Amino acid sequence: MKKLEDYVLSIPDFPEPGVIFRDVTSILQDADGLKLAIDELQNLLEGVDFDVIVGTESRGFIFGVPIAYNLHKPFVPIRKKGKLPRETISRTYNLEYGTATIEMHKDDIKPGQRVVLVDDLIATGGTIEACAKMVEQQGAKVEKIIFLMELAGLKGRDKLKGYDVASVIRYEGK
């Protein structure tokens, strides 16, 4: 039986020399890999009491929606600025070379709700930290943050101190 890591293609020197790109699409392209990824992420939520799953655009949608469906929970998307039609709240965060802004509908999360955040990858942690802050801005509590893959060498967990964070696959490098 294959492990989830066996489905991940590692592409050296992309997007720049010295970087190993971990390609999630190779998991999605294999039915067994996709099922294993969803199952493993869902297993990270055993014993967690929560109300709603929030996923980041776009790969957080890919993994968050099937988990929400399986567990009969609502799913809330967090999108890039300008993509949502109703009143939104937003958060701007730093990237390596600039900034980015993400948004969610203002009324998608209710005060007191317990939230799980889902994304495919944690690298520097900026995106998911911004997501957690928006959830908290709505008066909700982040119960857990889960990732399919973690690039531990980029120290993204440092931005998430105080949160329950878990990943299925952990790569020590960048």
The one-letter code for the residue type at 87 is E
Catalytic residue among 40, 59, 79, 157: 59
- Whether 96 sits among the annotated catalytic residues: the reply is yes
Which pLDDT does position 126 carry in this prediction?
94
Task: Return d(Cα 23, Cα 50) in angstroms, integer.
Answer: 30
Amino acid identity, position 79: R
- Give tens-digit pLDDT for 87-121: 999 999 988 778 999 999 999 999 999 999 999 99
**pLDDT digit string, tens, across residues 157-173:** 999 999 999 999 999 97
Residue 91 designated active-site: no
Closest CA to 60 of 86, 79, 36: 79
Task: Collapse the DSSP code of 23 into the 3-class scheme (helix H, G, I; strand E, B; otherwise coil) and give the result.
Answer: strand
How far, in Å, CA of 16 to CA of 114, rounded? 39
Pick the CATH number of 49-171 from 3.40.50.2020, 3.40.50.1400, 2.50.20.10, 1.10.10.370: 3.40.50.2020
Question: What does the pLDDT read at residue 173?
Answer: 77
> Before 58, cis peptide (omega within 30)?
yes
Residues contacting 163, CB < 8 A, separation 6+:
132, 142, 144, 145
The three-state secondary structure class of 164 is coil
Catalytic position from the list 46, 87, 96, 172: 96
pTM of the entire predicted model: 0.95
